[in-house]
Chains A and B, each alone.
Chain A
Amino acid sequence: MAKEIKIPQISEGVDTAVISEILVSEGDKIEEDQSVISVETDKATAEVPATSGGTIKEIKVSEGDEVNVGDVIIILEDDDEDSEEKEEEETDKETISEKKKEDSEKDEEESDSEENKKDESKSKEKDEEPEEDEDEDEDADEDEKDRDEKKKSKDTKSKKDKDTDEAPSKDVYASPGVRRLARELGVNIKEISGSGESGRITEKDVKEYQEGGSKKSSSGQAKLPDFSKWGAVETKPLNSIKKTTAKNVLASWQSIPHVFQFGEADISGVETYIEDHNEKVEKAGGKLTFTAILTKIVATALHKFPTFNASIDMDKEEMILKKYVHINIAVATEDGLLVPVIKNADQKSIKDLSVEISEIAEKAREQKLSKEDMEGGNFSISNLGGIGGTNFTPIVYHPQVAILGISRATTKPVYIDGKFEPRSILPLSLSYDHRLIDGADGAGFMNWLVKALEDPYEALLG
Chain B
Amino acid sequence: MAKKDKKELVVIGAGPGGYAAAFHAADLGIKVTLIDPEVNPGGVCLYRGCIPSKALLHLSKTKEEAMQASKWGMKFEEPKIDIKKVAGWKEKVVKKLTEGLGQLSKARNVEYIQGKAKFTGKHELEVTDNKGKISGLSFEKVIIATGSSAVGLPELEIDHEKIWDATDALELKEIPKKMLVVGGGYIGLELGSVYAALGTKVSIAEMTPGFLPGTDRDLVKVFEKNEAFKNVFFETKVEKVKITKKGVKVSLKGKKEEQSKKFDCVLVAVGRKPNTQNLGLKELGISADEKGFLKVDDKRRTKLDHVFAIGDITGEPMLAHKASYEGRIAAEVIVGKKGASYDPKVIPAIVFTNPELAWCGLTEEEAKEKNKNVKVVKFPWSASGRAAAIGENTGLTKLLIDEETEVILGGAVAGKNAGSLIPEIALAIEMGSTASDLSLTIHPHPTLSETIMESAELFYGGATHYKKA
- A residues lining the B interface (CB < 8 Å): 89, 99-100, 103-104, 106-107, 110, 127-129, 131-132, 134, 137-138, 149-150, 153, 157, 160-161, 163-164, 169-170, 172-176, 179-184, 186, 196-201
Q: Does B59 contact A (CB under 8 A)?
A: no
Given A160-B299, A175-B431: A183 and B338 within 8 A (CB)? yes
Binary contact readout B290-320 vs A (1 if CB under 8 angstroms, 0 otherwise): 1000010111000101100000000000000
Q: Is the CB of B338 within 8 A of A186?
A: yes
Give the shortest distance, in Å, between A177 (CB) and chain B (any CB).
9
Q: Is the CB of A170 within 8 A of B285?
A: no
Q: Which of A132, A150, A170 contacts B345 (CB 8 A)?
A: A170
Chain B interface, >50% SS class: loop
Q: Is the CB of B338 within 8 A of A149?
A: no
Give the shortest distance, in Å, between B195 (CB) and chain A (any CB).
38
In the complex, chain B residues 336-370 whose Cβ is within 8 Å of any chain A Cβ: 337-341, 343-345
Q: Is the CB of B285 within 8 A of A132?
A: yes
Q: Which of A89, A164, A173, A176 contacts B297 (CB 8 A)?
A: A164
A192, B299: Cα distance in complex, Å: 23
Chain A's closest residue to B336 (CB) is: A156
Q: Does B213 contact A (CB under 8 A)?
A: no
Q: Is the CB of A183 within 8 A of B339?
A: yes
Q: 3 closest A-B pairs (Cβ-Cβ)?
A: A173-B432, A184-B339, A180-B339
Contact-residue bracket for chain B: 20 to 34
Q: Is the CB of B343 within 8 A of A198?
A: no
Q: Does B244 contact A (CB under 8 A)?
A: no
Q: In the complex, what residues of A have CB within 8 A of residue B290's CB?
A: 89
Q: Is the CB of A127 within 8 A of B287?
A: yes
Q: Does B282 contact A (CB under 8 A)?
A: yes
Binary contact readout B406-417 vs A (1 if CB under 8 angstroms, 0 otherwise): 110000000000
User: Could you list 28 A-B pairs, sorted by A, with CB under 8 Å?
Assistant: A89-B290, A103-B295, A104-B297, A127-B287, A128-B287, A129-B287, A132-B285, A137-B121, A149-B305, A150-B305, A157-B305, A160-B299, A161-B297, A163-B341, A169-B343, A169-B345, A176-B344, A179-B343, A180-B341, A181-B339, A182-B339, A183-B340, A184-B338, A186-B338, A196-B432, A197-B436, A198-B406, A200-B432
Give the shortest distance, in Å, between A107 (CB) and chain B (any CB).
6
Q: Is the CB of A100 within 8 A of B297?
A: yes
Chain A's closest residue to B435 (CB) is: A198
Q: Does B430 contact A (CB under 8 A)?
A: yes
Q: In the complex, what residues of A have CB within 8 A of residue B295's CB?
A: 99-100, 103
A169, B345: Cα distance in complex, Å: 7
- B residues lining the A interface (CB < 8 Å): 121-122, 282, 285, 287, 290, 295, 297-299, 303, 305-306, 337-341, 343-345, 405-407, 430-432, 434, 436-437
Q: In the complex, what residues of B have CB within 8 A of residue A157's CB?
A: 305
Greatest chain A CB density within 10 A among B121, B338, B339 is at B339
Given A129-B282, A164-B298, A169-B345: A176 and B430 within 8 A (CB)? yes
Give the shortest distance, in Å, between A144 (CB) and chain B (any CB).
15
Chain A's closest residue to B285 (CB) is: A131
A100, B430: Cα distance in complex, Å: 25
Given A128-B287, A137-B121: A197 and B303 within 8 A (CB)? no
Q: Which of A104, A172, A183 contacts B341 (CB 8 A)?
A: A183
Give the shortest distance, in Å, between A246 (CB) and chain B (any CB).
31
Given A100-B297, A181-B339, A198-B406: A175 and B303 within 8 A (CB)? no
Q: Is the CB of A134 within 8 A of B285?
A: yes
Q: Is the CB of B122 within 8 A of A134?
A: yes
Q: In the complex, what residues of A have CB within 8 A of residue B431's CB?
A: 175-176
Give the shortest distance, in Å, between B334 (CB) and chain A (any CB).
11
A197, B440: Cα distance in complex, Å: 14
Chain A's closest residue to B306 (CB) is: A149
Q: In the complex, what residues of B have CB within 8 A of residue A106's CB?
A: 303
A4, B343: Cα distance in complex, Å: 34
Given A128-B287, A198-B406: A107 and B303 within 8 A (CB)? yes
Q: Is the CB of B432 within 8 A of A174?
A: yes
Greatest chain B CB density within 10 A among A150, A169, A181 is at A169
Q: Is the CB of A153 within 8 A of B338?
A: no
Q: In the complex, what residues of A have CB within 8 A of residue B303's CB?
A: 103, 106-107, 110
Q: In the complex, what residues of B have CB within 8 A of residue A172's CB?
A: 432
Q: Kindly list 14 other residue pairs between chains A and B, CB separation below 8 angstroms, not including A100-B295, A184-B337, A186-B338.
A: A89-B290, A103-B303, A106-B303, A110-B303, A129-B282, A129-B287, A137-B121, A149-B305, A150-B305, A153-B305, A161-B297, A196-B432, A197-B434, A199-B405
A184, B336: Cα distance in complex, Å: 11
A414, B202: Cα distance in complex, Å: 114
Q: In the complex, what residues of A have CB within 8 A of residue B339's CB?
A: 180-184
Q: In the complex, what residues of B have CB within 8 A of residue A173's CB?
A: 405, 407, 432
Q: Which of B122, B297, B345 contacts A160 (CB 8 A)?
A: B297
Q: In the complex, what residues of B have CB within 8 A of residue A179's CB?
A: 343
Q: Which of B121, B299, B430 contacts A175 (CB 8 A)?
A: B430
Q: In the complex, what residues of A have CB within 8 A of residue B282's CB?
A: 129
Q: In the complex, what residues of A have CB within 8 A of residue B298's CB?
A: 160, 163-164
Q: Is the CB of A198 within 8 A of B287?
A: no
Chain A's closest residue to B346 (CB) is: A170
Given A137-B121, A150-B305: A198 and B405 within 8 A (CB)? yes
Q: Which of B305, B343, B434 contacts A180 (CB 8 A)?
A: B343
Q: In the complex, what residues of A have CB within 8 A of residue B299's CB?
A: 160
Q: In the complex, what residues of B have CB within 8 A of residue A182's CB?
A: 339
Chain A's closest residue to B407 (CB) is: A198
Q: Is the CB of A175 within 8 A of B432?
A: yes
Chain A's closest residue to B140 (CB) is: A149
Q: Which of A103, A110, A153, A198 contacts B432 (CB 8 A)?
A: A198
Q: In the complex, what residues of B have CB within 8 A of residue A199's CB?
A: 405
Q: In the complex, what residues of A have CB within 8 A of residue B406's CB?
A: 198
Give the shortest distance, in Å, between B440 (CB) and chain A (any CB).
11
